[in-house]
C-alpha cells in the first residue's frame, strides 16, 4: 500500500469520505477542474411517456465515453486504477482492507467516488455483490453504490471497481422509491410487476418501461441468492461471456436493501461515433438510470426524445428476451 496516499480521518466511513472529498477538492487540481466542469454542466429534461431522462452536457466525461475497451487496447495501456498508475495527488480511504475509495476526477455527481479493488483483477459482478451490499449499508443511506459490467459501460473492464453517488441523484431512484412505497401501501399502482414477495421481493418492470429488475428486502443472504438467480436466468436468456451484460445498483434505507439491475444487449448504440452525424454517448449505469451523459455540446443541443428512445432500446435487453426472463423467474 502507498501509505503516503492513504487518507486517515476520524469518524464513520461517511465522515471519512466527506473529509476526503473536501481535502481532494482543495489539493488536487484535476479534481477541482472536473468539479468546476460539473457545476457548469447544462442539463435538459425529457419526459418519455411516464419516465424521465436528464441529459447532462459534461465535457469532462469525454475520455470515458471515448474509451476503447477491446482486448488489444486494454493489454497495451497501463491500467489507470492500479496504484502505480494513479496520479500521486489521488488519495484514498481504505474500506474493509481490500477496497480503496477514491475521488473521481471527472465527476458526474458532487461528490462522486470510485471504489477500487486492491488487486488488478477483471470486472465481474459476482466478485462485487457481497461488498456492494456491505458498502451500501455502511454508507448509512447517504450513497448509492453501482456497478458497470465489463461490456456494459465500464471504461476499465480489466480492473474490478464500483462507484458511489449521493442517494437519489438519478431519475430512476425517485421512480423506484415511489414504486416501492406503492407496494408497501398495497394500492396496486406500481410500474413494477412483483413476481415474488418471500423471502425478498423480486419484480420486473411492466411493458412500456425500460427493462428493469428490482429486488428489495432485509435479508442479506436472500438478496444475494435472488441476484444469483437473476444472473443464472440472464445467462440462459442472453448468454454472453464473461458474464451477463448488466448495470447494477444497491442502496440501503430503513434496514432494507434496494437492488436494481438494467439487463443489456449492447455496450453502445448504433449512433455511437466521433463523426459529426454521430453521438459520442456510451451508456453506463448512470445513463440507464436516467442521467444521460453527453460530453459533446453539439450532441447535447441536437438530442431529442426519439434519439434517446433509440439509444435505450438498442442497449437494453430486447422486449422478447425480457419476457423470457420474466418466464424464467416466475418458475
Task: Print the domain residue range for 256.
Answer: 11-171+235-330
Asked if residue 15 lies in contact with residue 111, where contact means CB atoms within 8 angstroms, the answer is no
Span 104-138, pLDDT tens digits:
999 999 999 999 999 999 999 999 999 999 999 99
In a domain, 1, yes or no: no
Instruction: Report d(CA 314, CA 267) in Å as an integer.
Output: 9
Grid coordinates standing for 220?
Answer: 442479506
In a domain, 190, yes or no: no
pLDDT tens sequence across 177-228? 888 876 665 555 578 999 999 999 999 999 888 999 999 999 999 999 999 9
Is residue 281 in a domain?
yes
Q: How many domains does the chain have?
A: 1
Q: Is residue 228 part of a domain?
A: no
Q: Beta 192-196 vs 201-205: how paired, if at all?
A: antiparallel
141-183 per-position pLDDT tens digit: 999 999 999 999 898 999 999 999 999 999 999 889 888 876 6
pLDDT at 69: 84
Residue 50: band (very low, low, confident or very high) from pLDDT cuts 50, 70, 90:
confident
| Residue 175: closest CA among 258, 55, 92 | 258
In whole angstroms, give the CA distance from residue 56 to residue 51: 17
**What pLDDT score was predicted for residue 291?**
97
What radius of gyration do the chain's Cα atoms show? 19
In a domain, 191, yes or no: no
What's 252's domain CATH number? 3.30.428.70
User: Is the residue at 105 inside a domain?
Assistant: yes
SS (H, E, C) 51-62: CEEEEEECHHHH
Helices 220-237 and 129-138: angle between axes, nearest 10 degrees: 140
Whether 310 is covered by a domain: the verdict is: yes
Asked if residues 257 and 218 have their Cβ atoms less than 8 Å apart, the reply is: yes
Cα distance between residue 139 and residue 163, in whole Å: 12
The more confident residue out of 294 and 188 is: 294
Q: For residue 226, is it within any domain?
A: no
**What per-residue confidence (pLDDT) applies to 264?**
97
Q: Are 60 and 34 in contact (CB under 8 A)?
A: yes
Amino acid at each position: 500500500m502507498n501509505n503516503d496516499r492513504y487518507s486517515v480521518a476520524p469518524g464513520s466511513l461517511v465522515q471519512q469520505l466527506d473529509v476526503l472529498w473536501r481535502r481532494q477538492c482543495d489539493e488536487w487540481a484535476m479534481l477541482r477542474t472536473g468539479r468546476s466542469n460539473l457545476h457548469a454542466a447544462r442539463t435538459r429534461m425529457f419526459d418519455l411517456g411516464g419516465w424521465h431522462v436528464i441529459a447532462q452536457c459534461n465535457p469532462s466525461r469525454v475520455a470515458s465515453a471515448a474509451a476503447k475497451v477491446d482486448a488489444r487496447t486494454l493489454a497495451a495501456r497501463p491500467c489507470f486504477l492500479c496504484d502505480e498508475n494513479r496520479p500521486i495527488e489521488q488519495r484514498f480511504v481504505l474500506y474493509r482492507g481490500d477496497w480503496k475509495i477514491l475521488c473521481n476526477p471527472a465527476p458526474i455527481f458532487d461528490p462522486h467516488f470510485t471504489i477500487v479493488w486492491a488487486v488488478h483483477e477483471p470486472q465481474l459482478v459476482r466478485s462485487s455483490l457481497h461488498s456492494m451490499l456491505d458498502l451500501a449499508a455502511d454508507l448509512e443511506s447517504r450513497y448509492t453504490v453501482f456497478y458497470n459490467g465489463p461490456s456494459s459501460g465500464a471504461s476499465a473492464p480489466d480492473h474490478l471497481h464500483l462507484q458511489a453517488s449521493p442517494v437519489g441523484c438519478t431519475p430512476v431512484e425517485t421512480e423506484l422509491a415511489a414504486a416501492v412505497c406503492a407496494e408497501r401501501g398495497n394500492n396496486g399502482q406500481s410500474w413494477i410487476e412483483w413476481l415474488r414477495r418471500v423471502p425478498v421481493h423480486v419484480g420486473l418492470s411492466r411493458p412500456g418501461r425500460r427493462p428493469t429488475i428490482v429486488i428489495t428486502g432485509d435479508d442479506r443472504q436472500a438478496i444475494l441468492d435472488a441476484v444469483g438467480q437473476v444472473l443464472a436466468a440472464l445467462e440462459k436468456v442472453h448468454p454472453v461471456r464473461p458474464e451477463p451484460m448488466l448495470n447494477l445498483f444497491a442502496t440501503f434505507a430503513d434496514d432494507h436493501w434496494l437492488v436494481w439491475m438494467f439487463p443489456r444487449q449492447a455496450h453502445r448504440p448504433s449512433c455511437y461515433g466521433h463523426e459529426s452525424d454521430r453521438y459520442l454517448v456510451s451508456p453506463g449505469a448512470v445513463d440507464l438510470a436516467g442521467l444521460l451523459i453527453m460530453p459533446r455540446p453539439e450532441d447535447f443541443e441536437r438530442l431529442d426524445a426519439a434519439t434517446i428512445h433509440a439509444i435505450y432500446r438498442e442497449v437494453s435487453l430486447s422486449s422478447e428476451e425480457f419476457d423470457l426472463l420474466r418466464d424464467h423467474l416466475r418458475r
